[in-house]
Homo-oligomer: A and B are copies of this chain.
Amino acid sequence: MARIAATAIAAAAFFVRVSLGVDNGLARTPQMGWNNWNAFACDVSEELILGAADKLVSLGFRDLGYTYVLLDDCWSAGRSENGSLQHNTTRFPNGMADVADQIHSRGMRFGMYSDAGSLTCGKYAGSLGHEDVDAKTFASWGVDYLKYDNCFNEGQSGTPLITYNRYKKMSVALNSTGRPILYSMCNWGEDYPWKWAETVANSWRISGDIGDSFQRPDARCPCGPDEGYNCDLAGFHCSAMNILGKVTSFVDKGIPGAWNDLDMLEVGNGGMTDSEYVVHFSMWAAVKSPLIMGNDIRSLSPSSFSILANPAVIAISQDPLSTSAVRRWRYPVEDVDEYGQGDIQLWSGQLAYGDYVVALLNTGNNARIMNATLVDIFRDEGPGGKPNSAQAWDVYDLWADRMSDDTANLILNSNGTALQNGTVSLPYNATKLSYADGLAKNTTALLGKYTTTIQPQGTLKANVTGHGIGFYRLRPHLGSQKRDEL
């Protein structure tokens, strides 16, 4: 039998203690945060990281749920004579424990980076063979999150078991420290981690590194979007739609505490249009990927800010049912781009409290009317989508209430003081009310904007721009009843 969705075992939850994920209690929903790599690569420093942390707080991102501040490769000065990793004292003059303290003092959590090989990708000392001592070092510094890479792995790959054993060592080492440390496996999908990593790690990368491109093929990312489950070379410079395609066949493998990781977000880095970034962010939320910003947080555009700060979309990611959307159909279109790419896709998936998420994805060049029948949207519910397809549904547009550029500008230009002084307000504050609780209370900011009602056996129609998405929350239509009367 296939692994069953969270819903199917809801009934069981009353009877047995269910051990989920790596069993450290973390990442019950996909982790959110910021990482320096995509925008800064090796150019890291205490100043950069703490500056980013400050920005995450002042611009409201922390309160929107982006709580992890992640330092990637190149922080190291190698291994000391006593065998422990040392930080680069020029770049981090106050040391990593201080960085962690400062981040903790801002109400955020601190992540670092190492590699399950002899060297990191940047050719600093790796942790292969040093798992215990390095885990202890990270714990002693107050680290809350470890991204664990795959370069220079000394041939230790090729079967699931070889890779599992290599990555499990750090998993055990981290757990042995007694400190809860989110364990983010970054082996680029080699040896099918979706088949085995859920008992080892809190998330696992499913592809080569993302590049800041919507769907341009790149020779260095040789596997196509339909080859995610059987790719012999992860590569890098993979486009957003390439990676989305790759996860399609195993979206169900993400479960609370253990997620498919589609890599960090490119929103704000300039390689895609606004509409493309909207697709990128929406779909990462829909398939329950971690949402880790990879931008230069110091110089965000209003449009990038308003994408990343959309609580109605984040609420899809952080939905307590924790079930990924599924691609229901895909058809080629003729208005392809210069690379020959273009199709239309329907995705849908169950949410908590009886809601559903629907994505009408148009990767063709031109805007078009897209149609999604309730039968297709509710494919998994029963024959013909019943019983769900036989009732009416209210449609909430998840982007209709997107923050205006004016508001975003106010926040950005004031470095967030417009938020603190109440000139404008953050659309949602998850520090005060978790997304799960907010959804339970039908908080408006999390639901999107009501647009229409689909009749039983009806069809959701939307005009979707080229390289764009219609992204909706469907709620059971209650007629004259009010929802909270149910």
Give 1 or 0 for each of A103-136: 1 = CB within 8 Å of chain B CB.
Answer: 0000000000000001101111000000000000
Q: Tell whether, in the assembled complex, residue A76 and residue B16 are in contact, meaning their CB atoms are under 8 Å apart.
A: yes
A409 interface residue (CB < 8 Å to B) = no
Chain B residues near A380 (CB, 8 Å)?
A: 237
Does A356 lie at the interface of the complex (its beta carbon under 8 Å from any beta carbon of B)? no
Contacts of A2 in B (CB 8 A): 121, 188, 208-209, 235-237
With A74-B9, A122-B9, A271-B383 known as contacts, the answer to whether A15 contacts B91 (CB < 8 A) is yes
Question: A269 touching B326 by the CB < 8 A rule?
Answer: no
Inside 8 A of A122's CB, which chain B residues have their CB? 4, 8-9, 12
- Residues of B near A344 (CB, < 8 A) are none
Chain A residues engaging chain B, CB cutoff 8 angstroms: 1-4, 8-9, 11-12, 15-20, 37, 41-43, 72-74, 76-78, 88, 90-91, 118-119, 121-124, 149, 151-165, 168, 186, 188, 191-192, 195-196, 198-200, 208-209, 212, 219-222, 226, 229-230, 232-233, 235-237, 248-252, 269-271, 326-328, 330, 380, 382-384
A4's partner among B88, B121, B159 (CB-CB below 8 A) is B121
Residues of B within 8 A of A199 (CB): 118-119, 152, 154
Give chain B nearest CB distance to A292 CB in angstroms. Answer: 12
Contact with A42, one of B9, B17, B222 (Cβ below 8 angstroms): B9
Q: How far is it, in angstroms, between the C-alpha of A346 and the C-alpha of B249 when the chains are bound?
A: 31
Determine which of B20, B163, B220 lies in contact with A251 in the assembled complex, contact meaning CB atoms within 8 Å: B220
Q: Which residue in B78, B165, B222, B327 is a CB contact (below 8 Å) of A229?
A: B222
A224 shortest CB reach to chain B, Å: 11
Docked-complex contact A8 and B41, CB < 8 angstroms:
yes
When distances are taken between beta carbons in the complex, the residues of chain B under 8 Å from A269 are 383
A221 to B241, CA, bound (A): 20
Chain B positions within 8 Å of A156 at CB level: 160-161
Distance (whole angstroms) from the CB of A8 to the closest CB of chain B: 5
- CA–CA, A252 and B384, complex, Å: 36
Interface pair A1/B222, CB less than 8 Å apart: no
A17 to B: closest C-beta gap in Å? 7
Q: Which 7 A-B pairs give the minimum distances between C-beta atoms?
A: A155-B164, A2-B236, A158-B159, A270-B383, A229-B233, A222-B249, A230-B232
Chain B residue contacts of A236, Cβ below 8 A? 2, 252
Q: Shortest Cβ distance from A432 into chain B, in angstroms?
A: 32
The complex places the Cα of A371 from the Cα of B236 at a distance, in Å, of 26
When C-beta atoms are compared, the residue in chain B nearest to A124 turns out to be B16
> Contact at B155–A160, with CB atoms within 8 Å?
yes
CB distance from A317 to the nearest CB of B (A): 20
Measured between alpha carbons, how far is A36 from B327 in the docked complex, in Å? 27
A52 → B minimal CB distance (Å): 17
Interchain residue pairs with CB less than 8 A apart (18):
A11-B43, A12-B74, A19-B119, A119-B199, A152-B199, A153-B196, A155-B160, A155-B163, A155-B165, A159-B159, A192-B232, A219-B249, A220-B248, A220-B250, A220-B252, A222-B249, A229-B233, A235-B250
- In the complex the two chains form, is B233's CB within 8 Å of A230's CB? yes
Query: In the bound complex, how far is the Cα of B18 from the Cα of A197, in angstroms?
Result: 31
A165 to B158, alpha carbons, bound, how many Å?
A: 13
The reply to whether B196 and A220 form a contact with Cβ atoms under 8 Å apart is no
Report the nearest B residue to A119, measured CB to CB: B19
- Establish whether residues A158 and B9, one from each chain, have CB atoms under 8 Å apart when the complex forms: no
Determine how close the nearest CB of chain B comes to the CB of A42; give it in whole angstroms. Answer: 5
Q: Which residue of B lies closest to A380 (CB)?
A: B237
Q: Is the CB of A41 within 8 A of B4?
A: yes
A270 to B384, CA, bound (A): 9
Contacts of A163 in B (CB 8 A): 155
Instruction: Please give me the residue from chain B that is nearest to A230 by CB atom.
Output: B232
